[in-house]
């Protein structure tokens, strides 16, 4: 992950660079990332991320567990957006297997995934503000709404974060009417809550000072590094699998994909996530109106679940970007080979470029703004 | 008011803890300052007399030593519960009844934790740092004690003619402790934190001091007791409202309401105007060298001067609060211990009792800067209600009722009503300011170090100089404390 360093070091006084180890046990690295920073005063000249502290052999485990077991495990890959990891694997398996997914299940998948996108962005918002030094205060407001969504998840999937709800062939459980009406109520009040966050954050002078013009991600550079998700859309690349490679019922839904018209800084990455939350809320509303009756699974959810022999790839648009899953199946009750394409891993690779020549105080402001989940990086 | 219940709980908690703090400090002072000397007075030896005098002289120190730990413990709890209310949480509510003893438990935990000196650390400096950080906040605040107790005879000993100078000098020492701690820890995060603290303290002390100098200029004195006494007589006399610039208005209102009672029809708008004019135009006219015939012009100039003066002093108050927040390393200026960057900054390597001392000192410093604000800008122990309004609201009756009720205690010198009232008002004002600081902490993110320096040197320091000059000129036209 090391990048070339063209460090301009022409000191007039004799100064030394300082090597500083940020992490793996640093309060702000969102897990166990280790960054070796070369500092000139407080300016970062070179960054070397060290990965793998959270490596859990998720791909290997997929080959040693039955499909049914692995479905429950896969939420842990990206623990903040478990619905998407489940969905990516389910879609890949469905591509291999060729089974039909009932329409109601597709709608439910879209609904819970967009809910999950909102919870993920809300958590990002809270922790990002903590990265900026607002240790108390508004970081907790997003958690208020996230809590409501987590309660809805708990009701429908039995779990607050490791859902195991989206299954190969469909979804696990049919929602009750009360659940749907609770969700409807949430979607109605959520835009006001987002206005509340914006009122306190978007206009905050110190927040603007800390984020505007910091960590500018050039469009070309981002494309070279394979950045996806809101981070690259904030830099003006129109890539959103829901639109560019539509899947599930997204073609039937009306929603905007906000795309920036210039190279984005950390503030843009913040504001585009906020806009995405609003769009997700609209999607949920539409799904609630359009939800058809019918079956919820095209495959029997039994322990001996099998996927036909073959290979296939499928990707979904997760809150962090393109989340892809490649599966080779030999028709047995477990996968022959599973390979993940994780957005966090690719997005993290840009970090050394973004941090170059920024003060150490901006390290966390920039690192937080690309929204990386460490288990998703290390798998 | 979605969390009205929580606010109510915070209120009860605050009042309970205030009673505990007051009780403890009061009893300690009484014991050392009154009871022991009274007992000793029955012996007619020199030794007894010297002991009694020593005890009396030690009263301020005893009161501070009792007050600071209990108060810091409460402030931690107050801040945590207050923040919890701002952030839709509950806060600590498990230890003791409704979390009342949370910080006591924390203190015990810290005392029993292992005291670690890291490898390669300079052990002597490492140990000295918390002491250097904490000691000035105890002894620096001594002159304030004389002001906040309404110059009680037991506390007169700690007053200095140059009190505010001493306080400011003492309050700039703790940064040495931070730098020492950061350097001695043998940790890069600590070192960066310590150096940041030094840079920050140097930059923000200037606006802080200039804003206080502005007040001293208004008051014409460096003596905190003197400054406190000048502001007596209600909110219109306080320095935050121009330090007596509104005294004319005050006396006019007093006159109006004093005469209102016997004969209402006597009071025409004209007489009110005349009183106002008398209060403002005469010194202004004298200053401008105008004749008596041009008093309306002079009156206008005086009014402008009053407005300018009040605006300038309000800005000075804001500058003081900003500088003070930076001085004591609170959000948004908590760069020396920026958690998301420097882990915990200068105190990263500290644990156990040494960390507890840092923690204690931090909250004590907050309390002290708040008390400086209360004394310098908010009239110290002065009741905010002016006497004329207080009379209408039945103030004297209430005061005499309280005196009546406390008369047995007054008789044994346990309670001194002026000191009691002053202490109550001071604690209300100081905690109001602390609450404001907590509110800020719950609202703002942290500055970046270069932005902090920009803000300090390019905004605050020029602004404080402008305010200083404005006050210099404006007070020439207004009848402020000096010479009145």
DSSP letter for each residue of A298-348: SS---TT----SEEEEEEEEETTEEEEEEEEE-SSSBEEEEEEE-HHHHHH
- B1 or B479, higher pLDDT: B479
Interval A288-312 mean pLDDT:
82
Q: How far apart are CA B77 and CA A111, in angstroms?
A: 42
Q: What backbone phi and psi angles, to 5 degrees, belong to B157? A: -65, -30
For A275, counting Cβ atoms within 10 Å of its Cβ (0-12 exposed, 13-18 middle, 19+ buried), the class is middle
Determine which of B9-13, B24-28, B153-157 has the lowest per-residue pLDDT on average.
B153-157
| Residue found by looking up tokens 């009691």 in the block | B420
Q: Residue B299's pLDDT is what?
A: 63
pLDDT score of B252 more than 80 = no
Task: Count CB neighbours of A282 within 10 A.
Answer: 16
Q: Residue B463's pLDDT is what?
A: 92
Q: Are strands A321-329 and A310-318 parallel, antiparallel or unpaired?
A: antiparallel
Q: Residue B31's pLDDT is what?
A: 85
- Best interface-test mutation with B: which of A361, A365, A368 has the largest number of B CBs within 10 A? A361
Half-sphere exposure for A375 (CA within 13 Å, toward CB): 13
Counting every residue written for chain A, the total comes to 379
Structural element, H or E, at residue A73 = helix A67-73
For residue A31, give the nearest of A49, A47, A18 by alpha carbon.
Answer: A49
Which of A27, A132, A200 lies closest to B446 in CB terms?
A132
For B421, counting Cβ atoms within 10 Å of its Cβ (0-12 exposed, 13-18 middle, 19+ buried), the class is middle
Interval B389-411 mean pLDDT:
80
Task: Count CB neighbours of A22 within 10 A.
Answer: 24
pLDDT band at A326 (very low <50, low <70, confident <90, very high): very high
Which of A28, A136, A141 lies closest to B340 in CB terms?
A28
Question: In whole angstroms, what separates CA B361 from the centre of its chain?
Answer: 15
CB spacing of B446 vs A134 below 8 angstroms? yes
pLDDT score of B287 more than 50 = no
Q: Residue B141's pLDDT is what?
A: 81
CB spacing of B341 vs A135 below 8 angstroms? no
Q: DSSP secondary-structure letter at A359?
A: B
- Cβ neighbours of A360 in B, within 8 Å: 192, 341
pLDDT band at B462 (very low <50, low <70, confident <90, very high): very high
Question: In whole angstroms, what separates CA B192 from the centre of its chain?
Answer: 30
Interval A95-116 mean pLDDT:
88
Q: Residue A135's pLDDT is what?
A: 67
Q: DSSP secondary-structure letter at A264?
A: B
CB spacing of B446 vs A206 below 8 angstroms? yes
Q: Residue A7's pLDDT is what?
A: 59
Give tens-digit pLDDT for A260-274.
888 888 888 889 899
- pTM score: 0.82
Q: How far apart are CA B378 and CA B434, in angstroms?
A: 14
In percent, how much of chain B has pLDDT > 90?
4
Q: How far apart are CA B301 and CA B477, in angstroms?
A: 8
Interval B78-95 mean pLDDT:
84
- Residue of chain A whose Cα is closest to the Cα of B443: A137
Q: How far apart are CA B459 and CA B468, in angstroms?
A: 14
Which of B443, B448, B451 lies closest to A137 in CB terms?
B443
Q: Residue A119's pLDDT is what?
A: 92
Task: Count CB neighbours of A173 within 10 A.
Answer: 16
Please report which residue ranges of A101-212 form alpha helices under DSSP H: 103-131, 140-157, 177-201, 205-211
pLDDT averaged over every residue in chain B: 80
**CB distance B336 to B302 below 8 Å:** no
Structural element, H or E, at residue A257 = none
pLDDT score of B422 more than 60 = yes
pLDDT score of A136 more than 80 = no
Q: Residue A60's pLDDT is what?
A: 87
Q: How far apart are CA A271 and CA A256, in angstroms?
A: 14
Determine which of A8-17, B396-405, B425-434 has the lowest per-residue pLDDT on average.
A8-17
CB spacing of B444 vs A137 below 8 angstroms? yes
pLDDT score of B368 more than 70 = yes
- Best interface-test mutation with B: which of A133, A146, A359 has the largest number of B CBs within 10 A? A133
Determine which of A25-34, A145-154, B9-18, B424-433 has the lowest per-residue pLDDT on average.
A25-34
In percent, how much of chain B has pLDDT > 70?
86
Which of A135, A210, A363 lies closest to B331 in CB terms?
A135
Q: B131-140, B147-156, B285-294: which has the highest mean pLDDT?
A: B131-140
pLDDT score of A333 more than 50 = yes
Q: Which residues of B touch A (CB under 8 A)?
A: 83, 86-89, 188-189, 192, 331-332, 334-335, 338-341, 343, 441-451
Q: How far apart are CA B441 and CA B334, in angstroms?
A: 10
Give tens-digit pLDDT for A309-323.
889 899 999 898 899
pLDDT averaged over every residue in chain A: 85
Q: Give the closest-approach CA distance of B43 to chain A in angstroms.
A: 59
pLDDT band at B277 (very low <50, low <70, confident <90, very high): low
A356 φψ region: left (φ > 0), alpha (ψ -120 to 50), beta (else): beta
Task: Give the 3-state DSSP-derived string for chain B, with helices as H, strands as E and coil as C.
Answer: CCCHHHHHHHHHHHHHHHHHHHHHHHHHHHHHHHHHHHHHCCCCCHHHHHHHHHHHHHHHHHHHHHHHHHHHHHHHHHHHHHHHHHCCCCCCCCCCHHHCCHHHHHHHHHHHCCCCCCCCCCHHHHHHHHHHHHHHHHHCCHHHHHHHCCCCHHHHHHCCCCHHHHHHHHHCCHHHHHHHHHHHCCCHHHHHHHHHHHHHHHHHHHHHHHHHHHHHHHHCCCCHHHHHHHCCCCHHHCHHHCCCCCHHHHHHHHHHHHHHCCCHHHCCHHHHHHHHHHHHHHHHHHHHCCCHHHHHHHHHHHHHHHHHHHHHHHHHHHHHHHHHHHHCCCCCCCHHHCHHHHCCHHHCCCCHHHHHHHHHHHHHHHHHHHHHHHHHCCCCCCCCCCHHHHHHCCHHHHHHHHHHHHHHHHHCCCCCHHHHHHHHHHHHHHHHHHHHHHHHHCCCCCCCHHHHHHHHHHHHHHHHHHHHHHHHHHHHHCCCCCCC
Give tens-digit pLDDT for A233-261.
888 888 888 888 888 888 888 888 888 88
pLDDT band at A118 (very low <50, low <70, confident <90, very high): very high
Interval B428-435 mean pLDDT:
91
């Amino acid at each position: 992950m090391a990048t070339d360093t063209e460090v301009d070091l022409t000191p007039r006084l004799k100064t030394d660079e300082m090597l500083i180890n940020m992490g793996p046990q640093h309060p702000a690295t969102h897990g166990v990332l280790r960054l070796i920073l070369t500092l000139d005063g407080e300016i970062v000249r070179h960054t070397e991320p060290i990965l793998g502290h959270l490596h859990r052999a998720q791909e290997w485990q997929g080959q040693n567990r039955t499909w049914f077991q692995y479905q429950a495990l896969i939420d842990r890959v990206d623990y903040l957006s478990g619905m998407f990891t489940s969905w990516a694997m389910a879609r890949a398996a469905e591509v291999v297997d060729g089974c039909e997914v009932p329409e109601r299940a597709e709608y439910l998948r879209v609904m819970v995934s967009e809910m999950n996108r909102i919870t993920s962005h809300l958590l990002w918002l809270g922790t990002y503000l903590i990265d900026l030094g607002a240790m108390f205060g508004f970081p907790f407001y997003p958690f208020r709404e996230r809590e409501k969504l987590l309660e809805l998840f708990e009701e429908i999937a039995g779990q607050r974060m490791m859902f195991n709800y989206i299954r190969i062939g469909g979804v696990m459980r049919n929602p009750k009417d009360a659940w749907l009406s609770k969700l409807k109520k949430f979607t109605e009040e959520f835009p006001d809550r987002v206005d509340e966050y914006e009122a306190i954050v978007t206009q905050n002078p110190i927040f603007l000072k800390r984020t505007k013009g910091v960590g500018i991600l050039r469009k070309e550079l981002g494309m070279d590094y394979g950045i996806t998700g809101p981070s690259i859309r904030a830099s003006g690349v129109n890539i959103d699998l829901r639109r560019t490679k539509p899947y599930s019922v997204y073609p039937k839904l009306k929603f905007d994909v906000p795309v920036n018209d210039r190279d984005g800084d950390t503030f843009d990455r913040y504001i585009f996530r906020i806009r995405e939350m609003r769009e997700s809320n609209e999607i949920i509303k539409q799904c609630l109106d359009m939800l058809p009756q019918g079956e919820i699974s095209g495959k029997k959810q039994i322990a001996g679940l099998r996927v036909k022999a073959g290979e296939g790839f499928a990707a979904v648009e997760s809150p962090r970007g393109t989340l892809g899953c490649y599966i080779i199946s030999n028709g047995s009750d477990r996968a022959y080979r599973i390979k993940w394409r994780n957005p966090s891993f690719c997005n993290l690779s840009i970090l050394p470029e973004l941090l170059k020549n920024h003060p150490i105080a901006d390290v966390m402001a920039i690192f937080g703004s690309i929204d990386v989940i460490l288990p998703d990086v290390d798998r | 008011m979605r969390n009205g219940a929580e606010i109510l709980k915070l209120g009860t908690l605050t009042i309970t803890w205030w009673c505990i703090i007051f009780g403890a400090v009061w009893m300690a002072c009484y014991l050392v300052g009154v009871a022991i000397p009274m007992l000793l007075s029955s012996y007619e030896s020199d030794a007894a007399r010297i002991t009694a005098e020593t005890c009396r002289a030690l009263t301020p120190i005893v009161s501070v030593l009792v007050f600071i730990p209990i108060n810091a413990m409460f402030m931690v709890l107050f801040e945590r519960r207050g923040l919890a209310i701002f952030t839709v949480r509950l806060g600590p509510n498990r230890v003791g009844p409704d979390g009342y003893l949370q910080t006591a438990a924390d203190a015990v935990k810290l005392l029993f934790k292992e005291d670690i000196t890291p490898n390669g650390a300079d052990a002597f400096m490492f140990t000295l740092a918390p002491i250097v950080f904490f000691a000035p906040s105890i002894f620096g605040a001594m002159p304030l004690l004389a002001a906040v107790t309404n110059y009680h005879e037991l506390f007169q000993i700690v007053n200095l003619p140059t009190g505010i100078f001493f306080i400011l000098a003492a309050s700039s020492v703790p940064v040495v402790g931070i730098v020492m701690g950061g350097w001695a820890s043998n940790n890069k995060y600590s070192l960066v934190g310590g150096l940041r603290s030094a840079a920050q303290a140097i930059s923000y002390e200037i606006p802080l001091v200039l804003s206080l100098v502005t007040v001293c200029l208004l008051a014409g004195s460096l003596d905190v007791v003197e400054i406190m006494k000048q502001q007596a007589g209600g909110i219109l006399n306080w320095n935050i409202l121009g330090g007596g610039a509104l005294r004319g208005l005050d006396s006019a209102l007093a006159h109006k309401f004093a005469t209102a009672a016997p004969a209402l029809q006597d009071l025409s708008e004209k007489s009110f105007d005349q009183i106002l004019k008398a209060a403002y135009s005469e010194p202004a006219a004298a200053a401008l060298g105008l004749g008596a015939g041009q008093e309306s012009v002079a009156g206008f100039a005086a009014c402008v001067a009053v407005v300018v003066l009040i605006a300038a002093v309000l800005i000075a108050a804001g500058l003081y609060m900003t500088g003070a927040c930076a001085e004591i390393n609170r959000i948004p200026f908590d760069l020396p211990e920026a958690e998301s960057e420097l882990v915990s900054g200068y105190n990263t390597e500290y644990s156990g009792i040494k960390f507890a001392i840092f923690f204690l000192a931090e909250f004590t410093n907050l309390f002290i800067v708040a008390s400086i604000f209360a004394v310098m800008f908010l009239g110290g122990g002065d009741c905010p209600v002016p006497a004329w309004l207080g009379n209408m609201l039945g103030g004297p009756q209430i005061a005499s009722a309280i005196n009546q009720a406390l008369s047995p205690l007054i008789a044994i010198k346990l309670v001194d009503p002026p000191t009691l009232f002053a202490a109550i008002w001071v604690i209300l004002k100081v905690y109001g300011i602390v609450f404001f600081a907590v509110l800020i902490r719950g609202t703002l993110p942290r500055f970046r170090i270069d932005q902090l320096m920009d803000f300090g040197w390019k905004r605050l320091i020029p602004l404080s100089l402008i305010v200083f000059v404005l006050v210099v000129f404006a007070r020439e036209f207004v009848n402020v404390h000096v010479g009145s």
